[in-house]
């Protein structure tokens, strides 16, 4: 279900990047902005894959430590 939400959100953001005037910059084509956005999505997928399949131990993975500690701090408020 999480993958479905990620795909839907990615599609919505793709449409926003494509159509919204905020993402149109002088000297940079809109096509380049879309390619950079796709590159960012690919990098996020690679990041997810590395920390899901390679660094599986939550106690030694730095990204899990970061988010787990953030959860502890949030719950302390």
| Range 61-76 average pLDDT | 90
| Range 14-20 average pLDDT | 84
Read off the pLDDT of residues 26-46 as tens digits, 9 standing for 90 and up.
888 878 888 888 899 999 989
Read off the pLDDT of residues 46-62 as tens digits, 9 standing for 90 and up.
988 888 888 888 888 88
Those residues whose C-beta lies under 8 Å from the C-beta of residue 51, and which sit 6 or more positions away, are 61, 63, 64
Asked if 74 and 67 touch (Cβ cutoff 8 Å), the reply is: no
Those residues whose C-beta lies under 8 Å from the C-beta of residue 13, and which sit 6 or more positions away, are 37
- Whether the predicted model's global pTM rises above the 0.85 cut: no
């Amino acid at each position: 279900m999480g993958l479905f939400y990620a795909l839907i959100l990615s599609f919505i953001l793709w449409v926003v990047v494509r159509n919204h005037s905020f993402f149109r910059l002088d000297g940079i084509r809109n096509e380049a902005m879309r390619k950079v956005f796709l590159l960012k999505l690919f990098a996020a997928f690679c990041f997810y894959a590395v920390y899901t399949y390679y660094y599986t131990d939550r106690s030694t993975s730095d990204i899990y430590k970061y988010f787990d500690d953030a959860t502890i701090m949030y719950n302390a408020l």
